[in-house]
Amino acid sequence: MDVSLLIDEIEALVEDDPEGSRAAVWSFAGDEGMRLRLVGFLGDPRDFDVLVAGLADPRLRYTALEGLANQPDDEQVDAVARSLLDDSDPMVRSKAAGIVAFQARPGALVALLPLADDPDPHVRMVLGWYLGGLRDRAAEPALRGLLADPEDQVRKFAARGLARLNRR
C-alpha cells in the first residue's frame, strides 16, 4: 500500500465530501495507527474521544496527538496537549509543545517554560522555535538561556526563536 497516495486521496475526499470521507476512514481495515492518522485528518469533533482514547496506547500516542491538533475545539485540544508536556516520550512532548504554542491560549508560556530543562535535546530545540512564535517578550529569558545549551541545534533554534520574538 502506498501510504502517501492513500493520505492524498483521503485529504481530497475530506475536502470534497466530508461525510463520505468519514465513512471511508472508519471502514479502513488496515493498521490501527494508520486509521487513527486518517481519523485525525478528518478534524471531525465527533472523533475527539476516539483520538483521546488513542493516547492511552504508547504506540499510538504521538499519532493520536497529531490528530487532535486538527480538532476544532481549541480549549480541549490545548488541555490535552498540556497534559502531555511531561510524557515519557520526547516526541510526544515535542508535539504537545507545538500544539500548546500554536494554540497560544492564556498561560501557554508558563506551561512551556519547564521544557527549557528537558533532558531531550530535540524537545529543547523545538521549544526555542515555539517560544519565539508566542511573540511574548516574557519568553526572552528562557530563549537566552537556551542560547547557552550544550547542543548546537538547540542554540540555533533559540537564536531563531529570538529572531521571531523580535520581529513582532
The predicted-structure confidence for 73-106, as pLDDT tens digits, reads as follows 999 999 999 999 999 999 999 999 999 999 999 9
Given pLDDT bands bounded at 50, 70 and 90, which one contains residue 43? confident
Q: Which residue has the cell 504508547?
A: 58
- Inter-axis angle of helices 32-42 and 18-27, to 10 degrees? 170
Q: What is the pLDDT of residue 1?
A: 58
Contact at 8 Å (CB) between 72 and 46?
A: no
DSSP state of 148: T
Q: What is the pLDDT of residue 56?
A: 96
H helix and E strand count, the chain: 11, 0
Total-model pTM: 0.86
Find, among 74, 77, 75, 73, the residue nearest to 64 by Cα.
77
Q: Nearest 5°: CA angle at 73, between 69 and 75?
A: 95
3-state helix, strand, coil in the chain (%, to 5): 75, 0, 25
Q: Is the pLDDT of residue 168 over 70?
A: no
